[in-house]
Amino acid sequence: MSFSAGIPRRTLLKGMAAAGLGTALSASAIRPLYAASVAPITIVINQSPWFDSFRKTVEAYESETGNKVELDVNPFGGTLEKQRNSVRAGQGQYDILIMNSGWFAEMYTGGFVEAIADIDPGFKLDPEVFTLGDTIYYNAAKKSLTADGKLMSIPVSPLIPMLYYRGDLYRQAGLSAPKTFAELEANAGKLHKPPGMYGIVQRGARGPASVSYDFYPYLYGYGGRIFKDQSAGDYTVTLNSPEGREALDYYIRLAKTVGHPKTAANDQAQVIQAMLTGHAAHIMMVISAWSQMDDPEKSIVADKIEFAPPPSAPGLPTAPGLGHWLAGISRNVPDDRKRAAVEFLRWFQTKAAQLETAKAGGIPVHAGVYREPIADERKYRWMKPLAEALPHAVNNYQFPEASEVISVLEVGLNRTVAGETTSVEALNGMAGEIEKIMAGHSYKTGKLTPLQ
DSSP string, 51-118: HHHHHHHHHHHHHHH---EEEEEE-HHHHHHHHHHHHTSSS-S-SEEEEETTTHHHHHHTT-EE-HHH
Buried-state track 312-337, b at ≥16 Cβ within 10 A, e below 16: bbeebebbbbbbbbbbbbbbbbeeeb
In contact, 358 and 374? CB cutoff 8 Å: yes
In contact, 210 and 270? CB cutoff 8 Å: no
Burial of 111 (0-12, 13-18, 19+ CB in 10 A): exposed
Confidence band, pLDDT 50/70/90 cuts, at residue 176:
very high
Give me the pLDDT at residue 403, please. 87
Confidence band, pLDDT 50/70/90 cuts, at residue 10:
very low
Sheet arrangement for strand 282-286 = 282-286, 161-166, 305-308
Distance, in Å, from the CA atom of 134 to the CA atom of 108, rounded to the nearest integer, reads 13
Percent of the chain exceeding pLDDT 70 equals 92
Q: 75 Cβ partners below 8 Å, 6+ apart?
A: 6, 46, 47
Give me the pLDDT at residue 412, please. 98
Q: 428 Cβ partners below 8 Å, 6+ apart?
A: 240, 450, 451
CA 220 vs CA 100, 147, 381: distances in Å: 20, 23, 25
Q: Is the model's pLDDT at 326 over the cut of 70?
A: yes
Distance, in Å, from the CA atom of 67 to the CA atom of 59, rounded to the nearest integer, reads 10
Q: Is the model's pLDDT at 14 over the cut of 60?
A: no
| 47-98 per-position pLDDT tens digit | 988 899 999 999 999 999 999 999 999 998 899 999 999 999 999 999 999 9
Give me the pLDDT at residue 2, please. 63
**For the chain, domain boundaries:** 2-159+322-381, 161-321+398-447
Give me the pLDDT at residue 441, please. 96
Confidence band, pLDDT 50/70/90 cuts, at residue 352:
very high
Q: Is the model's pLDDT at 400 over the cut of 90?
A: no
In contact, 274 and 305? CB cutoff 8 Å: no
In contact, 325 and 100? CB cutoff 8 Å: yes
161-321+398-447 has CATH 3.40.190.10 classification: yes
Distance, in Å, from the CA atom of 305 to the CA atom of 166, rounded to the nearest integer, reads 5
Distance, in Å, from the CA atom of 2 to the CA atom of 88, rounded to the nearest integer, reads 24
| 17-26 per-position pLDDT tens digit | 333 333 333 3
In contact, 96 and 330? CB cutoff 8 Å: yes
Percent of the chain exceeding pLDDT 90 equals 83
Smallest Cα–Cα separation from 394: which of 173, 236, 215, 138?
215
The number of helices, as runs of H, and strands, as runs of E, in the chain is 16, 15
Q: Which amino acid is at 444?
A: K
DSSP 141-204: TTTB--TTSEE-EEEEE---EEEEEEHHHHHHHT-----BHHHHHHHHHHH-BTTTBBS-B---
The CATH class that applies to domain 2-159+322-381 reads alpha beta
Q: Is the model's pLDDT at 282 over the cut of 90?
A: yes
Q: Is the model's pLDDT at 399 over the cut of 70?
A: yes
Q: Is the model's pLDDT at 29 over the cut of 90?
A: no
Distance, in Å, from the CA atom of 383 to the CA atom of 107, rounded to the nearest integer, reads 30
Summarize the confidence of residues 335-343 as an average pLDDT: 97
| 253-264 per-position pLDDT tens digit | 999 999 999 999
Distance, in Å, from the CA atom of 267 to the CA atom of 411, rounded to the nearest integer, reads 14
Distance, in Å, from the CA atom of 412 to the CA atom of 398, rounded to the nearest integer, reads 21
Confidence band, pLDDT 50/70/90 cuts, at residue 319:
very high
Distance, in Å, from the CA atom of 407 to the CA atom of 427, rounded to the nearest integer, reads 14
In contact, 338 and 95? CB cutoff 8 Å: yes
